[in-house]
Amino acid sequence: MSKYETILSQLKDVAANPKKAMDDYKAETGKGAIGILPLYAPEELVHATGYLPMGIWGGQKTITKARTYLPAFACSIMQQVMELQCEGAYDELAAVLISVPCDTLKCLSQKWKGTSPVIVFTHPQNRGLEAANKFLVEEYKIVKRKLEEIVGEPITNAAIEASIKVYNENRAVMREFVKVAADYPQIIDPVARHAVFKSRMFMEKSKHTALVKELIEEIKAMPVEPWTGKKVVVTGILVEPNELLDIFKENGIAIVADDLAQESRQIRIDVLDGEEAPLYRLAKVWQRMYGCSVATDTKKYRGKMLLDMVEQTGADAIVVAMMKFCDPEEWDYPVMYRQFEEKGVKNIMIEVDQEATAFEQVRTRLQSFVEMM
């Protein structure tokens, strides 16, 4: 096995076994882990405690217990999270951090069935105002105080600054990885690409950065081969399970850029350097966020952003991975669709349901789409 294959295999293992990643971290550091629900959170604050921030983005369970608490039209991530909560999957976490940018998250945050303490905070939606930053700073102060109570130690400004550096570096390296993955689709197929992103949710970020840096170096040492298949930009919340990504691979589709909430939206905005206090700079990230369905955007920039991504990457088309029953994403779709059509950019919507076990409809859609192109 070559070095890059070894690194990819390591990252795939982490992505597939978050529990083991958490147990290893606990054994190594003596500290615990704190869960973080979609979509955005000041993860740097958690990192600054020395605890491991663990992304909680659902799973691939058959939904039974969650039906007691959620209606059938709650998105599949929330169904999965509820199911896993009911099974006690998150009970080893020292705390769970929940932001509430959509109705389902708001409701879920109020009926957490696990035993871990829950820290809920709100992103202001009138984001353009300076008052929004001030509001979010106050929210983050509450988050910080609660974290301190849970871990039993103060979170110093110096620790937050150090974590900001770690996260900014990880985001920069991941943005570089996205470009490398686009240049080497024969090596970084859609499943491997997703694993590199997903593993960052379960690893201490400086360790993840080091591995991805090494991976990039190894891959860049190889020649760039021409890609005979199609290239796409993918947008949505996430593309899982891996069987769905396998269909991209089967049809010779390379993902050359993404706007997935679980992937590139997490690395889009860095925390700026500056004289302001770290909590204020962390809060400003939300104001500077763009192209996301849960962050109010009266200019509807997301479609244009995706069209720019198509131009920059030379992609053939856009794939909208629609999270089933995600109304923020569904509201964005007609606007984006019109923008794509006006520019004559080929596009298709596929439905994402984490509980799915049969993928024939998506297979037909993607195969037809490739034939159409």
Partner 1 sequence: MYTMGIDVGSASSKVVILENGVNVVAAEVIQVGTGSSGPQRALEKAFEVSGLKMEDMTKIVATGYGRFALKEADKQVSEISCHAKGIFFLVPEARTIIDIGGQDAKAIRLDNKGFVKQFFMNDKCAAGTGRFLDVMARVLEITLDDMAEYDSRATEIASISSTCTVFAESEVISQLSKGVSKENIIAGVHQSVASKACGLAYRGGLEDAVVMTGGVAKNAGVVRAISRELNREVIVAPNPQTTGALGAALFAYEEAKR
- Give the interface with partner 1 as residue ranges (CB under 8 A): 351, 353, 360-361, 364-365, 367-368, 371-372
Least distance in Å: CB of 332 to partner 1? 16
CB-nearer residue toward partner 1: 10 or 251: 251
Pair 121, 139: CB distance under 8 Å: yes
Edge-first strand listing for the sheet containing 52-55:
52-55, 33-36, 95-99, 118-121
Q: In angstroms, give the least distance from the CB of 348 to partner 1.
A: 8
Q: What is the nearest approach in angstroms of partner 1 to the Cβ of residue 370?
A: 9
Of the two residues 296 and 367, which places its CB atom closer to partner 1 in the complex? 367
> Which CB atom, from 224 or from 335, has the smaller least distance to partner 1?
335
Residue 38 Cβ vs partner 1, minimum distance, rounded to whole Å: 22
| Distance in angstroms (rounded) separating the CA atoms of residues 109 and 74 | 13
Q: Smallest distance from the beta carbon of 291 to partner 1, in angstroms?
A: 24
Min CB(2)–partner 1 separation in Å: 32
| Closest CB 367 distance from partner 1, rounded Å | 4
CA distance 288 to 328: 19
Question: In whole angstroms, what is the distance from residue 180 CA to residue 302 CA?
Answer: 23
Q: Taking CA 120 as the corner, what is the angle to CA 114 and CA 123, rounded to the nearest 5 degrees? A: 145
Residue closer to partner 1, measured from CB, 291 or 303: 303
Nearer to partner 1, 186 or 367 (CB): 367
Specify burial of residue 364 (Cβ count, 10 A radius: 0-12, 13-18, 19+): exposed
Q: Which is nearer to partner 1, 169 or 351 (CB)?
A: 351
By beta-carbon proximity to partner 1, the closer residue of 130 and 371 is 371
How far lies 33's CA from each of 16, 53, 70, 82, in Å? 17, 6, 26, 19
- The CB-of-364 to partner 1 minimum distance in angstroms stands at 5
The whole-angstrom separation of Cα 99 and Cα 120 is 6
Contact by Cβ (8 Å): 230, 310: no
Q: Which is nearer to partner 1, 179 or 346 (CB)?
A: 346
Beta bridge partners of 35: 54, 96
Six token digits for residue 287? 């104001």
Pairing of strands 253-260, 230-236: parallel
Give the closest residue to 216 by CA, choosing from 177, 268, 261: 177
Which whole-number Å values give the CA distances from 105 to 74, 152, 332, in the listed order? Answer: 9, 28, 18
Shortest distance (Å) from residue 151 CB to partner 1:
44
First-last CA distance in the chain: 36
Residues 321 and 234 sit within 8 Å (Cβ to Cβ): yes
Between residues 153 and 342, which has the closer beta carbon with respect to partner 1? 342
